[in-house]
Chains A and B, each alone.
Chain A
Amino acid sequence: MSFDSLTALVHDSAVIAKRNIIKIRRVPDVLVFVLISPIMFVLLFAYVFGGSIDIPGSNYREFLMAGIFVQTVVFGATFTGAGIADDMQKGIITRFRSLPMSRTAVLAGRTASDVVYNVLSLAIMMATGFIVGWRIRDGIGEALVACVLILIFAYALSWVMAYVALIVPSPEVINNASFIVIFPLTFVANTFVPSQNLPRLLQIFAEWNPVSAATQAARELFGNIPHETPQPEAWALQHPVLYTLVWSVIIVAVFAPLAVRRYRRQA
């Protein structure tokens, strides 16, 4: 990609992202859902599971919180899919396609503006978590790194959902199609229970699942893993920050071009 087309992409994506953000403010239903569901998740998990599962040497509620953060932003990626499917149906897409703008910007702008959703929901979850007793036990700097890492991972998943939105035959299918991807990823992981308690096969999947790595990384950076907890055996969980970043880069490198190609072909 030449410098010119890169600046064009950044410029046009910013214009599209700005438009999406205007729309977020003007159609607040989605925003309400984005803000309320994290609160609900935090409270549900904290009070329903939080008291009933015992993790030796740890406070389960605190252990849980990073898992909820990651799970929520992963679910949030479906908004990207829904937004793109909606755009594809509306008349404005014809305008975009007839303009000499970057062909990638409609998608890149969408995935970028959806970071705003994730920042908001992450902030709300952290505030709610704080109220129910979750604490950042290491430095603020590390906590910020954890947040950025979660956002990067969520951004990568947005591209997966963008692609899903472009290949499904109708927008009504998107939610179901996304959940086929998202449920196994979020549940066969260390988000809610430590992975060593899982059956062997699921345990291997969970250990190498990037959602687990993202959760593990966040837990470590928030200081939510007690010192006496044994080191995880899988390499992925021993180097969770690196592993999550590598996955994020691979996901974007694969799914962004796929989605863009698909978008260009769609009449």
Chain B
Amino acid sequence: MCVAEPDNDDHLALCGVSRLRGAGVMEAHVDRLAGMSRIGWSVLCCAKYGATNRVVGTKWPVQSGIGSKEEREPDVPGAIVAEGLTKRFGDVLAVAGLDLTVPEGTVLGLLGPNGAGKTTAVSILTTLIEPDSGTALVAGADVVREPQKVRERIGLSGQYAAVDDVLTGYENLEMIGRLYRFDRRRARQRADELLEQFELTDAAHRPVKTYSGGMRRRLDLAGALVAEPPVIFLDEPTTGLDPRSRLGLWEVVRDLVARGTTILLTTQYLEEADQLADEILVIDHGTAIASGTSDELKARVGGERLDLTLGNEAQLETAVMIMRAVATGDVEIEREQQRIVAPVDAGAASLMRVLRELDERGIELHDLSIRRPTLDDVFFALTGHTTAAAQSAGDGDGLPADRREVRTR
């Protein structure tokens, strides 16, 4: 056992998982453990490698139908290519010179905190709003000059479900099919297929207002897939979903990728981008602050985080010393919460070492865990402040000094 005074089962589970990681966790564990939200994704990340491997082999499959490569316009450097996009709302520069490229058949994860400009960027790329400046080609069509062409080739599942509450799930999908000019038979058939695929068949003929959040989300995503578009935009597809629904959605995304669909996905969760995206673009205040593959980003951000909360304020300085000794990068200190977060690379060994030293010096421990980095950690590593601090401090770079200090090792 590795934790001195576990105050709940999470710690136990966490240590268990940490140890299991080396051995490789089988997917069977995922469903059972995902219910424990604190450790949920830490476990899922272990399962990821198995899942990714399955997908890799089919990344560029022979396709058919709308998504077929032959039918797409040639000489397109990427399914989505945007340059210098800007969009201002009054005083707020929501998108400030954003460039991005998503090669065909890949997933770009647009990662950023609330208000970073993710939805605005998606709205521009899906022709819902026009940019103030900049250009964007989506599936070979210009979003400003040929919006109808773009609309024919994309599917959008927005941050808020775009479904009609009064209609049934079936009626929603049938209507969308009809608006894609499917004939009645095909629209109905497609609606049934999608309801089946998203496990909504039982609820098919109930008004959507009786659906749960997860069901609405699935229906909305189904709506985006009606015409089997080659390019799909998913704006925070799992925000507000329970872990089980989140897993289900991830499966759907992987399935789409396996069929060659190009996906731009926005998220506030690092682990989600890590799980699903080939490339990750971290944005804040409408501009990119980092980009790269998940691995490249991890190299910059560091590996796991040791997350320590003390029971006694007086011991903070000593604890910081101990944490610095194991840290591989800047140590983040939140005085108010008596919390110290350190990037580490030795996994459970770092945890054991810190535990031993804390114990030796008789430091009172409220909580200690090892976890994968979050968006907050990414921000801290890249900018020296966290997303919450960035938001409360507005555009300025100043941080409330009493709340948080930035120190180097």
A residues whose Cβ falls under 8 Å from a Cβ of B: 8, 11-12, 15, 18-19, 22-23, 26-27, 90-101, 267
Q: Which 5 A-B pairs have the closest CB atoms?
A: A95-B162, A100-B151, A94-B162, A100-B152, A92-B164
Task: State which of B123, B126, B164, B207 has its C-beta within 8 Å of the C-beta of A19.
Answer: B164
Distance of B150 from chain A, by nearest CB (Å): 8
Main SS class of interface, A: helix
Distance of B247 from chain A, by nearest CB (Å): 24
CB within 8 Å for A98 and B154 given contacts A91-B162, A267-B129: yes
Cβ contact within 8 Å between B167 and A99 = no
Cβ contact within 8 Å between B166 and A27 = yes
Q: Which of A22, A23, A26, A92 counts the most B-chain CB atoms under 10 A from its CB?
A: A92
B128 within 8 A of A: yes
B156 proximity list for chain A (CB < 8 A): 94-95, 98
Distance of A246 from chain B, by nearest CB (Å): 34
A92 proximity list for chain B (CB < 8 A): 162-164, 172
Task: State which of A94, A98, A267 has its C-beta within 8 Å of the C-beta of B151.
Answer: A98
**A to B CB contacts below 8 Å, 12 in the list:** A18-B175, A22-B171, A23-B164, A90-B164, A92-B164, A92-B172, A93-B162, A94-B158, A95-B156, A98-B162, A99-B179, A101-B180
Task: State which of B129, B179, B207 has its C-beta within 8 Å of the C-beta of A12.
Answer: B179
B267 within 8 A of A: no
B161 within 8 A of A: yes
Distance of A108 from chain B, by nearest CB (Å): 13
Cβ contact within 8 Å between A22 and B180 = no
Cβ contact within 8 Å between A23 and B162 = no
Cβ contact within 8 Å between A90 and B179 = no
Cβ contact within 8 Å between B165 and A96 = no
Cβ contact within 8 Å between A15 and B178 = yes
CB within 8 Å for A19 and B165 given contacts A98-B127, A100-B151, A100-B180: no
CA A119 to CA B161, docked complex, whole Å: 34
Residue-by-residue, is B210-223 near A (CB-CB < 8 Å gives 1, otherwise 0)?
A: 00000000000001
Chain B contributes a number of interface residues (CB within 8 A of A) equal to 30
B200 within 8 A of A: no
A93 proximity list for chain B (CB < 8 A): 162
B128 proximity list for chain A (CB < 8 A): 94, 97-98, 267
CA A97 to CA B143, docked complex, whole Å: 13
CA A93 to CA B152, docked complex, whole Å: 17
Task: State which of A12, A19, A98 has its C-beta within 8 Å of the C-beta of B171.
Answer: A19
CA A195 to CA B207, docked complex, whole Å: 50
CA A90 to CA B163, docked complex, whole Å: 8
B205 within 8 A of A: no
CB within 8 Å for A15 and B163 given contacts A99-B151, A100-B151, A267-B128: no
B114 within 8 A of A: no
Task: State which of A26, A91, A98, A99 has its C-beta within 8 Å of the C-beta of B161.
Answer: A91
B149 proximity list for chain A (CB < 8 A): 100
A22 proximity list for chain B (CB < 8 A): 166-167, 171
B123 proximity list for chain A (CB < 8 A): 267
CA A99 to CA B179, docked complex, whole Å: 7
Excluding A90-B165, A93-B162, A99-B180, 5 further A-B contacts by CB distance (< 8 Å) are A15-B179, A92-B164, A94-B162, A95-B163, A95-B176
Distance of B140 from chain A, by nearest CB (Å): 15
B148 within 8 A of A: yes
CB within 8 Å for A19 and B162 given contacts A100-B151, A267-B128: no
Distance of A145 from chain B, by nearest CB (Å): 34
Task: State which of B165, B166, B176 has its C-beta within 8 Å of the C-beta of A99.
Answer: B176
Cβ contact within 8 Å between B160 and A94 = yes
B409 within 8 A of A: no
CB within 8 Å for A96 and B179 given contacts A19-B171, A26-B207, A267-B128: yes
Distance of A11 from chain B, by nearest CB (Å): 7
CA A89 to CA B126, docked complex, whole Å: 19
CA A18 to CA B154, docked complex, whole Å: 25
Question: Nearest residue in B to A12 (C-beta to C-beta)?
Answer: B179
CA A221 to CA B53, docked complex, whole Å: 78
Cβ contact within 8 Å between A19 and B167 = yes
Residue-by-residue, is B2-27 near A (CB-CB < 8 Å gives 1, otherwise 0)?
A: 00000000000000000000000000
B361 proximity list for chain A (CB < 8 A): none
B181 within 8 A of A: yes
Distance of A265 from chain B, by nearest CB (Å): 10
CA A191 to CA B256, docked complex, whole Å: 62
